[in-house]
Structure 1
Amino acid sequence: MKIRKKRIVVWNVVTVVLIMITSAAYYFTSIYNGLEGLQKSPEDSPFKEISPSELSVAEPPKWTGTEPVNILLMGVDGRGLVKGEIPRSDSMMVVSLDPVKHKIHLFSILRDTYVEIPGFKKNRINTAITHGPNTAMKAVGDLLGIPIQYYVYTDFQGFIKLVDAVDGVDFYVEKDMYYSSKADKHEYDIDLKKGGQHLDGIKALQYVRFRHDATSDYTRTERQREFFKVIADKFTSTTSIMKLPSIIEQVSPFVDTNLSVDDMWKLASVGYKSTIGETAQIPTMKLLKETYVGKMAVLTVTSEKDLKDYIQSIFNQPEEQTNLETSGNLSIKNEN
């Protein structure tokens, strides 16, 4: 009788272990398959309509996993475009991860910054993506003086799906925000009230898009960096990690990237061990000038060298000098 009971216990343990192994295998297989779907095939690429002659910019440098890595995040607004037309970047942010110092830095690129578009004439930097992701990475890299190894490209729907996939975020909206437009049949109107609240995907998109105030795109990019920190923190929660296969499945149709699955695993490992350091608007207020090129309003950089030196000063900042930012309160101190 005792032997029989021992066998039952053993088989119960074996069954539980097998279930755990099977579940883990399914979990990681689902993640792997989902991550593969983020990197689109040529026929599914959002850039498939771009002629080969416009895609002549060289591939970005490969990341070995030991040196800092820089990723260009691009959010685009595809409203009102004809079929096959590539939208300009509505927002551009560089995420820089240092696997040695375990620091993450965020740089928001003002979309009207007037730069040399590699292989083309000067234009606003948000037009670079219309010539392909390699051109966009090179243009941003030349501006900052750093190599951009990867890009992640999405649109409004991808952003909404991402926030909804993690069940939204708790966030403090610093003031009332309102904007109404008949142009898109009020689909993307903005109506937020000041105060702490829970933002779903639609409300979060309203927050990061709002720029109809005195400081326009300057405070908008600041808000975007603040929101990025909150959503990144939400991703590291146990609940979000367990839901990762579902999250990837929901956002995959709306995302394109040149990150391989192996790169994503390495970045996830680095990111999980890191903390967010300084964030900055590029160009900084001290190094930009509002002007016109013809009838086009643009922002020019007053000193490219000083801008690159500023970027390096952030990377080389001693540990004890990291800024005192807190999520959701727009208390960034380092751009003045």
Structure 2
Amino acid sequence: MSKQPKKKSPWKWIGIGALVVVAILIVAAIVWGSGVFKGLDSFSKPKEESRFGQFEEKPDVTPKWEGKERVNILLLGGDARGLEKTDVPRSDSLLVASFDPVTKKAHLFSILRDTYVDIEGYGKGRINTAISLGGPQLAMKTVGDVLGLDIQYYVYTDFEGFKALIDTIGGVDFEVEKNMRYTDKADNHLYDIDLKAGFQHLDGDKALQYVRFRHDAMSDYSRTERQRNLLQAVAKEMQSTWNIIKMQKILESVSPYIETNLHVPDMLKLGQLGVESHVAGNAQLPPMELVTELKVGGASVVGVRDDEELRTFVQDTLATDDTIPVPTDSPEPGSDNAAGTTDATP
């Protein structure tokens, strides 16, 4: 019997805050139009207000997105605990959303933050340090080189931005699959984790605890899955009539924590593309078959067995569509070729 197609998920649900922010842009652009133009425009910070203002902007060698070719967006969740506003945090989460305007297929790649890669001008290092070394430009360059993709845009948010989003939409009802507990006095216990298993209402603080927890057998591997599951619930909540009505308030609440090189015209083009697209697949990078555990300076990092195979894996993933049923050799019951039937032709 043929496999049933996988249930489609709205493209908006993935990423620790960042893709949900993109979802906000889409809904806002469609529902409110020019009424939230100022709010959308505030996501693109001038140099004097940017957390990344100390970095010299280099000429952008990435081809400009014209709206007809593949577009790739780097989604960055920053860990700014204990830092001043002018300090640059590492990326606590990194994702790439890739859209093909021709096929209307969207793919998402979740990148393990401890992946050990080449960072231009700095040698080898964890991929999550690229942003703290050279800002979003270097992060886009680093991720693009690893994946073999042109990264045209980035969207950055931090813990407080994620919490503000959840609190402004009124929290989210969610099933926490197990007890989760972790304490860290390094940040004066501001971001300790203490969750009980069971279905419950999560406010911004509790939701952040859930997507940050990685202190189990699979560590960051299972954490990225939790992020995807929680954000799916958040996206559904944001689609409610009440939160659409509150869209301007939502934009205002997250604006101080969002940075992007997207300008409003780009947002509107991406918004239209997002509405028309469907999620054709998602994958962890590097995939488990290409992961190798390394020790660098006594610390564990994630190595890549073969860089070229990783880039091939990315291209293979982009060529697939998980929503299309995969045919099998077994005939459907009742078909002419099913067991027990014969050719009636003499």
| Residues 73, 155 of structure 2: 8 Å contact kept | yes
**Cα separation, 1, equivalents of 2:61 and 2:245:** 34
* SS across alignment from 1:137: helix
The corresponding residue for 2:60 is: 58
User: What is the CA-CA distance between 1:222 and the residue it aligns to?
Assistant: 1.6
| Residues 98, 107 of structure 2: 8 Å contact kept | yes
Structure showing the higher helix proportion among its residues? 1
Percent of pairs with identical residues: 52
Figure out how many residues of one structure are paired with residues of the other and give that number. 297
The residue correspondences of 1:132-281 to structure 2 (distance < 5 A) are 132-281=135-284
| Residues 280, 320 of structure 2: 8 Å contact kept | no
The correspondence for 2:320, drawn from 292, 306, 317, is 317
User: What is the CA-CA distance between 1:148 and the residue it aligns to?
Assistant: 1.0
**CA, structure 1 residues 161+208, in 2 after alignment: closer, same or farther (shift >3 Å)?**
same
**CA, structure 1 residues 235+31, in 2 after alignment: closer, same or farther (shift >3 Å)?**
same
| Residues 293, 303 of structure 2: 8 Å contact kept | yes
Report the TM-score when normalising by structure 1. Answer: 0.82
* SS across alignment from 1:264: helix
**CA, structure 1 residues 174+226, in 2 after alignment: closer, same or farther (shift >3 Å)?**
same
**Cα separation, 1, equivalents of 2:92 and 2:163:** 15
| Residues 60, 149 of structure 1: 8 Å contact kept | yes
The corresponding residue for 1:95 is: 97
**Cα separation, 2, equivalents of 1:82 and 1:265:** 33
User: What is the CA-CA distance between 1:82 and the residue it aligns to?
Assistant: 5.4
**Cα separation, 2, equivalents of 1:242 and 1:136:** 35
The corresponding residue for 2:107 is: 105
* SS across alignment from 1:61: coil
The residue correspondences of 1:321-336 to structure 2 (distance < 5 A) are 321=324
The corresponding residue for 1:40 is: 45
| Residues 280, 322 of structure 2: 8 Å contact kept | no
The correspondence for 2:36, drawn from 31, 37, 40, is 31
Quick one: which amino acid aligns to residue 250 of structure 2? I
User: What is the CA-CA distance between 1:59 and the residue it aligns to?
Assistant: 4.9
**Cα separation, 2, equivalents of 1:156 and 1:217:** 17
User: What is the CA-CA distance between 1:230 and the residue it aligns to?
Assistant: 3.0
**CA, structure 1 residues 108+185, in 2 after alignment: closer, same or farther (shift >3 Å)?**
same
User: What is the CA-CA distance between 1:181 and the residue it aligns to?
Assistant: 2.2
Deviations 1:108-148 (A, max 9, x none): 11111111112321111001101111110111111111111
Instruction: Pick which of 102-111 and 124-133 moved more.
Output: 102-111
Superposition CA RMSD, Å: 2.3
* SS across alignment from 1:208: helix
**CA, structure 1 residues 206+114, in 2 after alignment: closer, same or farther (shift >3 Å)?**
same
| Residues 156, 260 of structure 2: 8 Å contact kept | yes
| Residues 108, 281 of structure 2: 8 Å contact kept | yes
| Residues 163, 204 of structure 1: 8 Å contact kept | yes
Q: Which runs of 5+ in 1 are unaligned?
A: 1-23, 324-336
User: What is the CA-CA distance between 1:27 and the residue it aligns to?
Assistant: 4.1
* SS across alignment from 2:181: strand
**Cα separation, 2, equivalents of 1:265 and 1:149:** 15
The corresponding residue for 2:18 is: none
Report the TM-score when normalising by structure 2. Answer: 0.79
* SS across alignment from 2:280: strand
| Residues 60, 150 of structure 1: 8 Å contact kept | no
The correspondence for 2:126, drawn from 124, 127, 130, is 124
**Cα separation, 2, equivalents of 1:108 and 1:200:** 24
Quick one: which amino acid aligns to residue 96 of structure 1? S
User: What is the CA-CA distance between 1:83 and the residue it aligns to?
Assistant: 6.2
The corresponding residue for 1:297 is: 300
**Cα separation, 2, equivalents of 1:86 and 1:280:** 28
**CA, structure 1 residues 139+68, in 2 after alignment: closer, same or farther (shift >3 Å)?**
same
**Cα separation, 1, equivalents of 2:275 and 2:245:** 15
* SS across alignment from 2:187: coil
| Residues 57, 118 of structure 1: 8 Å contact kept | no
Quick one: which amino acid aligns to residue 304 of structure 2? V
